[in-house]
C-alpha cells in the first residue's frame, strides 16, 4: 500500500476496487471490532513486498459470566400486518429474515437482493413501516445510500441496518439519524425479532 492508501485504509466505504466490486468495509470492520475490544490495529506495508496487519488486544483477567441464550429470552411479540422491506444480497440470510422471522410472525414483507432494485422497490411500493437493509450491498449502492435516498420521499421511514461490520462502518462517517438503528451479525433470531418489534412500537 502507498502511504496515502494506508492513511485511508480504515475509513468506511474507502476502496481501491472499481465501482460495484467492493464496499470498502472489510478493514473498517476489523478496525471497529478491535477498537470496540479495547485494542489497536497497525499496518506494516512495503510496495511490491506485501502488507501485514497486526491486531493487538488487551489481556483479559477474571471470570466470564455465562451468556444469555435465546431460550432465556421470552418469545418476541408478533406482528400486526405491518409492511417491512428487506434488502440483503445473501439469499440464505434474506430467506431466513423474510420467511421465518417476519412472514411467519404476521408481517407483510417485500424484498430485494441489491441496492438498485431495493431503491426501486422503495420508490414504487405503498406503505412501508420499516426498512431492514444489509450495509454491504452489490450493484453500486450500499445500504446506507439506499436508506438515505429512501428518506427523501419517506422522511419518517424507520430503518434497521443489519451488518457483519462494526457499527461505525454501518453509518459511515456520520451518525445514525432518528429512527435508524443497527444490529450486527451474527445475531440471535429472537434478538432481531425483538428489535423489529421495538422499533415498530415506537411512534
Q: Which of 138, 200, 145 is nearest to 171 (CA)?
A: 145
**Higher pLDDT among residues 195 and 68, named by residue:** 195
- Residue 162, pLDDT score: 85
Give dist(CA 33, CA 125) in Å, integer: 36
Look at residue 127 in the predicted model and tell me its pLDDT: 92
Q: What is the pTM of this model?
A: 0.63
**Measured between alpha carbons, how far is 43 from 115 in angstroms, rounded to an integer?**
31
CA separation for the pair 111, 125 (Å, rounded): 11
In this predicted model, what pLDDT tens digit does every residue of 18-48 receive, in sequence order? Answer: 766 666 667 777 777 787 778 899 999 999 8
Phi, psi dihedrals of residue 9, rounded to the nearest 5°: -55, -35
pLDDT in tens, 51-90: 999 999 888 788 776 655 444 455 566 778 899 999 998 8
Q: Which of these CATH numbers, 3.30.1300.10, 1.10.3720.10, 3.30.565.10, 3.90.79.10, describes 3-56?
A: 3.30.565.10
Residue 172 or residue 60, greater confidence: 60
CATH 3.40.50.2300 given to domain 77-201: yes
Quote the longest CA-to-CA distance of the chain: 59
Q: Where are the domains of the chain?
A: 3-56, 77-201
Amino acid at each position: 500500500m502507498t502511504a496515502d492508501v494506508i492513511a485511508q485504509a480504515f475509513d468506511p466505504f474507502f476502496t481501491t476496487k472499481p465501482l460495484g466490486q467492493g464496499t470498502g468495509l472489510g478493514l473498517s470492520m476489523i478496525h471497529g471490532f478491535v477498537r470496540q475490544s479495547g485494542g489497536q490495529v497497525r499496518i506494516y506495508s512495503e510496495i511490491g513486498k506485501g502488507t501485514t496487519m497486526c491486531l493487538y488486544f488487551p489481556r483479559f483477567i477474571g471470570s466470564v459470566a455465562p451468556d444469555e441464550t435465546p431460550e432465556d429470552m421470552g418469545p418476541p411479540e408478533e406482528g400486526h400486518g405491518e409492511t417491512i422491506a428487506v434488502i440483503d444480497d445473501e439469499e440464505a440470510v434474506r430467506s431466513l429474515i423474510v420467511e421465518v422471522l417476519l412472514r411467519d410472525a404476521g408481517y407483510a414483507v417485500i424484498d430485494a437482493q441489491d441496492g438498485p432494485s431495493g431503491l426501486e422497490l422503495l420508490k414504487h411500493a405503498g406503505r412501508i413501516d420499516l426498512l431492514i437493509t444489509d450495509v454491504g450491498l452489490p450493484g453500486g449502492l450500499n445500504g446506507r445510500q439506499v436508506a438515505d435516498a429512501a428518506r427523501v420521499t419517506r422522511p419518517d421511514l424507520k430503518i434497521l441496518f443489519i451488518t457483519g461490520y462494526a457499527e461505525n462502518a454501518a453509518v459511515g462517517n456520520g451518525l445514525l439519524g432518528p429512527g435508524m438503528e443497527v444490529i450486527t451479525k451474527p445475531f440471535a433470531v429472537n434478538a432481531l425479532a425483538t428489535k423489529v418489534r421495538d422499533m415498530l412500537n415506537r411512534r
